Structure formats: C-alpha cells, structure tokens
Amino acid sequence: MNIKRIGVLTSGGDAPGMNAAVRAVVRTALSCGIECIGIRRGWQGLINADFVRLDSASVGHILSRGGTILFTARSEDFMTEKGRERAVMTCKMLGLDGIVAIGGDGTFRGALELSRLGIPVVGIPATIDNDLGCSNYTIGFDSACNTAIECIDKLRDTMQSHERCSVVEVMGRNAGFLALYVGIAVGATAVLVPEHEEDFQKNVIEKIQASRLAGNTHFMIVVAEGAGSAVEIGKQIKETIGIEPRVTVLGHIQRGGSPNARDREIATRMGYYAVMAFAEGRGNTIIGTKEGDIVEIPIEEALAMKKHLQMERYKIMEAMQFGHTANRS
C-alpha cells in the first residue's frame, strides 16, 4: 500500500480530545511524508467534498481545545448506496489513499461500508460514553466524567444548604459507564444504570430512607440517560416519600471544555498509531486500547465486540453507600 495522501474526519457526537487526535494524525502523517486533508462535517462532508488542506501550522494550538475544528455531523445520506458512491468519488477526486475516522460506533459502521467500496479506513474511538467493545478506553470519557463531577460537587453544596435531594441525569446513551464512574466519585446515594435492573423501592427509596435515619439531610441520585428520565424519577421520589427533589439534566455540557491530560495523551497516541498503520501497509482497522497498550483490531471484528459494565464497581458503590448510611460519612 503506497500512501501519499490521507483524509481525516470526526463524526457523530463530539468528545474532548478529538482535536488532539486530529493534530496527531496530521503531524504524524507529515513526518512520514504523507499529505493530510481534513474532511469537515464527518461522512456528510465526504459526500459534499467539504474539505480543507491541513499542515502543521493549521493544527497548532488545538491540543487544549474542546470540540473539533473539523466539525461533526450525522449523515443520513451516507446510509444510502448513492451517498456512499458520492463519498468514494470525493476520495478519488482528492486522491485520498485512506481515511482516518474519529468517532464512535456509527462512525465505524460508516467506515466499514466505505472500506467495502475499496477505500481503506482506520478508526480512532472517541466517545464520552466509553461504550465501544473494541477498546478499553475511548477518547473523551475521562474529561466528561470530570465535568460531571465538578457540576455535581457544586450541586451538592447547594443541596446541603437547603437540605434537599438532587436527581442528576448524565449522558451515556444506552450505557451506564459514565453514570457509575461519576456516581462512585461523588459518593451518590444511588446510581441508576441501564445494565442493572432496578427495584425502585429497594435501590432508591430505601437508600434515601436509610440515609435519613442515619442523620443525613441531603441525597444525591445519579441517573444514566439510558436508565430513565431524571424528571420522572424525581416525581416518583416525591410521590413515594414526600421529598421534592431538584432535577438537573447535565446534557451536552459534558461534551464541552478542554480535554484533560489523559484524553490529550491517549488521543495523541491513537492518532500516531492510526497513521503508522497506513504507513506500514495496513488499513481497515480500529485503533483501541487494552490494559493501557495500543492495539489494532479489524473493523468487522471490532464492531462485533461487546463491552459489559463492571459489576464489581456497582458492588463497590453499594458498599460505600452502606458505610454512608451507617456512619454518616
């Protein structure tokens, strides 16, 4: 595989650290004598030939920026055969020998379809949900967790002042990785995740009641968006025990902000290895992590892999809640 020019795009939901990955792809490519073209607005941009030439200067000072300088979008057109054919035409027009696609599951499914049409693709996992089975870690997760923790810590201050219950909904799509990680970190009274079938009376109401009996006057319930509506859960709490919770849906604030050290470092490593895969004659793979090491997995195999919530963490969280209700700490 003789690689002279590659494209790079970001697709799907944005995540802190995407810019760091773009920067690493561009500068690694240049160091290998490979030109780099930025495709703006994801797969839709590839269909529309929305591109920009990238050099070392154009990716300067973006390491600390949140979001993505290439913009991102979801593309219904790319889901059609005609749309994908137009994308292939753009690749040929630009002389692209391959594409580095930065995103999540939907991005990689698009990458697989493009690879079947003869355009080599290497994927970099970037999603705050951390729900991709092919990688232990996805770019953006840690930064999103820290944003949620900072917000919840501030909410706790005002909840303590008014002796109230707070129900906070965090993102995560259909996965509870973000909610459970954050719930442990903030010492939540209860955490609701889609992977764990909840008995509302036992897992929420009784925990609040036990905490009240222990003398606590504020309660923090963290809800993964895939586990239900925080608003509805707040209503249930009020109807069951008469406490009127304050509901906060953190929403897209979790996607924003400067990426932290972990996301900058791992995004840089993934970007480097993505380009080296092309430079060494490999394509149609996903760059992931396993026990801290960078690994390459064929796209089809990567998409078939599943990631399960670590129930050990759920047990740890419950043990911390017991200590909280028993010792008021």
User: Which residues does the annotation mark as catalytic?
Assistant: 129
Residue closest to 126 by CA, chosen among 228, 227, 274, 300: 274
Total Cβ atoms within 10 A of residue 263: 28
- Identify the bridge partners of residue 125 per DSSP, sorted by sequence position: 103
d(CA 37, CA 34): 10
Give the type of residue at 303: L
Q: What's the CA gap between 196 and 307, in Å, rounded?
A: 14
